[in-house]
Amino acid sequence: MTDAAELRTRTKELLAAHPPATTDRVDFLKARFDAGLAWVHYPEGLGGLGAPRTLQAVVDAELEAAGAPDNDPRRIGIGLGMAAPTILGFGTEEQKRDFLRPLWVGEEVWCQLFSEPGAGSDLAALGTRAVREGDNWVVNGQKVWTSSAHLARWAILIARTDPDVPKHRGITYFICDMTDPGVEVRPLRQITGEAEFNEVFLTDVRIPDAHRLGEVGDGWRVAQTTLMNERVSIGGMRIPREGGMIGPVSRTWRERPELRTHDLHQRLLKLWVEAEVARLSGERLRQQLVAGQPGHEGSGMKLGFARLNQEISGLEVELLGEEGLLYDDWTMRRPELVDFTGREAGYRYLRSKGNSIEGGTSEVLLNIVAERVLGLPSEPRTDKDVAWKDLTR
Amino acid sequence: MMMTTTQSTQPDLLYSEEEEALRAAVRDLLSDHCDVAGVITRTETDTPHDPELWKALSDGMGLAGLLVPESLGGQGATHREVAVVLEELGRAVAPVPYLTSAVVATEALLACEGEEAAGLLTALASGRTIGALAVALSVAPGGAHKTVRNEDGLLHGELTGIADAAVADVLLVPADDGGLYAVDGDAVTLTPQVSLDLTRRLATVTLDGVRARRLGAAEPAVRRALRSGAGLLASEQLGLADWCLTETVRHLKERKQFNRPVGGFQALKHRLAQLWLEVVNTRAAARGAADALATGSADTDVSVAVAQAYAASVAVHTAEEALQLHGGIGMTWEHPVHLYLKRAKADSIAYGTAGAHRAALAELVDLQAP
């Protein structure tokens, strides 16, 4: 088993052989990947050393201290957080070898073609069709809420390959080439004025069977890996007090006494307490994961933060009074990242409305807590044994 | 004004193996000695508190002395262990003077120097002597409270709302000369007050020229005692809330109406999931306060105020939902949920309301009132 001391040694060797000050950024990242220091819990030869995941912090700290470049993980979050673990779990040796290195280095951006206009919370009802033609699959359909689609080289895609069986069983998981002429990406403008996301129209897109992930008809199970990793990557960060949405409104309160009212004061204090408790809950979850005691608590974090972000930013707009009637910029833009602190209160208010919809609606997450954590029965299901083609539309 | 918006170290919010072992031992003892039907019956007898349970907890397990140093006959443990005991006592809504004697009175004595206080600490640690701080249960840390008159060394006056005074062998009484005094329980007139909380009763304490031993200055002792009381009460509230949620989930899985388990209806599932989120958050807040008290963190005042400002409403909300979701049975005297509702509601006033703790936070984190 690789231990912390050995990882430190390997990191120092990498830094000695490829001094960050004189090495091209991408060359350094490739060397880091080849040294097994990209994600140490991945297997040897695929950017890792088969070491415990928690030891990644040892490598990261050494590299940061040495001023080494990173792979800009926020820019390639979907690749790192969702595509990579799925490829690792279900990919062929060839797929792992071809895709993981450029993914991690950031040469190839990934996006996720899951949600559809007709399949949101009920994702398994998706209707994008993939039909086999020789060694290829021909894909037709429409996907939505795709971040990075306009930047992406590859996509993870789920599509219906068998409409004659119940919905969960007729889905297959693919890797889709975003440069295929049948892929059309259109910006999807949001209530904030900008377009973080896209609509993706797929018209006779040809995907070689070699780019299938997992078995035909097993796509739903493969997708669970992707979605589970989405939730893991949402939790797990250490946040300082007032590190979230409560920070800007607290600063405004301190700096601008003329805005204060008794009503706002009571509401601010209540939200401040709730934000601090949510932060402590996240910290407790983090400590549990580090101690190797994963709990159910992670299921609830997103629910809490979604509501808090919405209430806090709503209060902030109100606190601003006359200024709260203004908005910083309605221009249609294509931001690469969601930036809650770089914009004003009105933007935070509008953007945080999406927090209770994206990555699982709060209503669905409450069902998940009720059923998986508390063990309560599910609602009677009428869709489990019905062929997809016969579902109510 | 000092800003307390950053902390150098994070509190340890987990339970250690030893703490889990302590929890298991206390829970075992409570399941043998503190059945909830018995607690209901006991509320209408002359001994609403449970002396045998108290003896088992203190004499048998040494839990009354957790906060007392070993040199004074205690266990030399910390608020973290006390918090675990309080979670379990809350879960059982146990009618014992643990919070009042082993936490609040003990902390007041720990703030006093001298042999009188040391002797009392040893006595309280054994559990054979029960102590009570003669400050109304509703007073927040740093809040104004009543005192008695010291006239030539004899104490005169009446104090109301004193929790567990009826079972106290010694009362710690603040006087108008700024001193804290020890008074024997049988030297005062105790008048039980009909209390909302059937398992933690209040009494009026009347002193009519009582001789008393001075322990030290009242202000720091009372402040320290109430701060620990408020911070650790969050763990009791966690235990109460956790019982209410667990029992309600169990009931709704078993209860059938409309040819299905009632717990399968989404309208009810969402309410239970919401309660679960609140309980999870309360656990983090309560652990934060207990750890801050245990380590003497500079962040203790904030941690305690946050925990109490949050946990009070969660305990009440959970108990109220438990009653509602139990339907008619929840409204009966026979079903125990009312004990939890009464305790939770009383706890939301004990050692300061959530509003009082939010007002304290406004100063502590510099979010000043208009």
In order of their start, the domains of chain A are: 4-70 (no CATH), 110-223 (2.40.110.10), 235-359 (1.20.140)
At which residue do the structure tokens 């700290």 appear? A61
The alpha carbon of residue B344 and the mean position of all alpha carbons in its chain are separated, in whole angstroms, by 11
DSSP secondary structure letter of residue B232: H
pLDDT at residue B251 in the model? 98
- Put simply, the answer to whether A260 touches B269 (Cβ < 8 Å) is no
- Put simply, the answer to whether A376 touches B276 (Cβ < 8 Å) is no
pLDDT at residue A1 in the model? 57
- Put simply, the answer to whether B264 touches A287 (Cβ < 8 Å) is no
Homologous superfamily assigned to B220-364: Butyryl-CoA Dehydrogenase, subunit A, domain 3 (1.20.140.10)
Residue B127 · residue B54 · CB < 8 Å: yes
**Amino acid type, A161:** T
- In chain B, residues with a C-beta closer than 8 Å to the C-beta of A374 are 249, 269, 272-273, 276
DSSP secondary structure letter of residue B57: I
Beta strand pairing call for B170-174 and B154-163: unpaired
**Amino acid type, A76:** I
pLDDT at residue A233 in the model? 47
- Put simply, the answer to whether B14 touches A284 (Cβ < 8 Å) is yes
- The residues facing A387 across adjacent strands are A166
- In chain B, residues with a C-beta closer than 8 Å to the C-beta of A281 are 280-281, 283-284
- In chain A, residues with a C-beta closer than 8 Å to the C-beta of B309 are 269-270, 273
- Put simply, the answer to whether A276 touches B13 (Cβ < 8 Å) is no
Every domain of chain B and the residues it spans: 220-364
pLDDT at residue A237 in the model? 63
B312: number of Cβ within 10 Å: 28
Q: Tell whether A341 is within 8 A of chain B (Cβ).
A: no
pLDDT at residue A393 in the model? 85
- Put simply, the answer to whether B310 touches A274 (Cβ < 8 Å) is yes
The two three-digit tokens of residue B32, written as one number:
């043998």
- In chain A, residues with a C-beta closer than 8 Å to the C-beta of B252 are 376
pLDDT at residue B5 in the model? 40
Residue of A nearest to B308 (CA): A273
Mean pLDDT (chain A, rounded):
93
* A144 pLDDT more than 70: yes
Residue B265 · residue A380 · CB < 8 Å: no
- Put simply, the answer to whether A367 touches B283 (Cβ < 8 Å) is no
Cα–Cα distance between B353 and B333 in angstroms, integer? 27
pLDDT band, residue A12 (cuts 50/70/90): very high
Cα–Cα distance between A176 and A7 in angstroms, integer? 35
Q: Which residues contact B147 (CB under 8 A, 6 or more apart)?
A: B157, B174, B175, B176, B218
- Put simply, the answer to whether B367 touches A281 (Cβ < 8 Å) is no
Q: B313: closest CA among A310, A270, A370?
A: A270
Considering Cα of B330, then B331, then B335, then B337, what sign does the dihedral take? positive
- In chain B, residues with a C-beta closer than 8 Å to the C-beta of A250 are 5, 365, 367
Q: Tell whether A24 is within 8 A of chain B (Cβ).
A: no
- In chain B, residues with a C-beta closer than 8 Å to the C-beta of A241 are 4-7
Task: Compute the count of residue pairs across chains A and B with CB atoms less than 8 Å apart.
Answer: 137
- Put simply, the answer to whether A262 touches B369 (Cβ < 8 Å) is yes
- In chain B, residues with a C-beta closer than 8 Å to the C-beta of A284 are 13-14, 283-284, 287
Which B residues 281-340 touch A at CB under 8 Å? 281-285, 287-288, 306, 309-310
Residue of A nearest to B274 (CA): A366
For chain B (length 370 residues), average pLDDT per consecutive 10?
Answer: 47 96 98 94 94 96 98 97 98 98 98 96 98 98 98 97 98 98 97 97 98 97 98 98 98 96 97 98 98 97 98 98 97 97 98 98 98
Dmax over CA atoms of chain A, in Å, equals 72
- Give the best residue of B12, B265, B269, B314 to mutate against chain A (max A CB count within 10 A): B269
pLDDT tens for each residue of A162-176: 999 999 999 999 999
Beta strand pairing call for B170-174 and B131-133: parallel
Which B residues 241-270 touch A at CB under 8 Å? 249, 252-253, 260-261, 263-266, 269-270
- Put simply, the answer to whether A293 touches B310 (Cβ < 8 Å) is no
Averaged pLDDT for residues A241-256: 96
Q: B129: closest CA among B120, B139, B138?
A: B120
pLDDT at residue B164 in the model? 98
Alpha-carbon gap: A73 to the closest alpha carbon of chain B (Å): 26
Compare CB distances from A241 to B6, B260, B310 and report the shortest one's residue. B6
Alpha-carbon gap: A241 to the closest alpha carbon of chain B (Å): 6
H-helix or E-strand containing B159? strand B154-163
pLDDT at residue A250 in the model? 98
Compare CB distances from B13 to A265, A269, A287 and report the shortest one's residue. A287
Q: B108: closest CA among B180, B158, B161?
A: B180
Q: Tell whether B369 is within 8 A of chain A (Cβ).
A: yes
pLDDT at residue B2 in the model? 37
Residue A7 · residue A58 · CB < 8 Å: yes
Residue of B nearest to A274 (CA): B310
Alpha-carbon gap: B339 to the closest alpha carbon of chain A (Å): 24
At which residue do the structure tokens 């609040």 appear? B104
Residue of B nearest to A291 (CA): B14
Alpha-carbon gap: A360 to the closest alpha carbon of chain B (Å): 15
Positions of A marked catalytic: 230
Main-chain dihedrals φ then ψ at residue B163, nearest 5 degrees:
-75, 135
Higher-confidence position of A298 and A249: A249
Alpha-carbon gap: B296 to the closest alpha carbon of chain A (Å): 18
Residue A105 · residue A30 · CB < 8 Å: yes
Going from the C-alpha of B370 to that of each of A266, B2, B230, B272, B309, the distances in angstroms are 11, 19, 27, 38, 20
Which A residues 248-277 touch B at CB under 8 Å? 250, 253-254, 257, 260-262, 265-266, 268-270, 272-274, 276-277
pLDDT at residue A231 in the model? 54
C-alpha angle A266/A271/A272, rounded to 5°? 95
Q: Tell whether B280 is within 8 A of chain A (Cβ).
A: yes
pLDDT at residue A291 in the model? 80
pTM above the 0.90 mark? yes
Main-chain dihedrals φ then ψ at residue B5, nearest 5 degrees:
-95, 0
pLDDT band, residue A235 (cuts 50/70/90): very low
- In chain B, residues with a C-beta closer than 8 Å to the C-beta of A372 are none
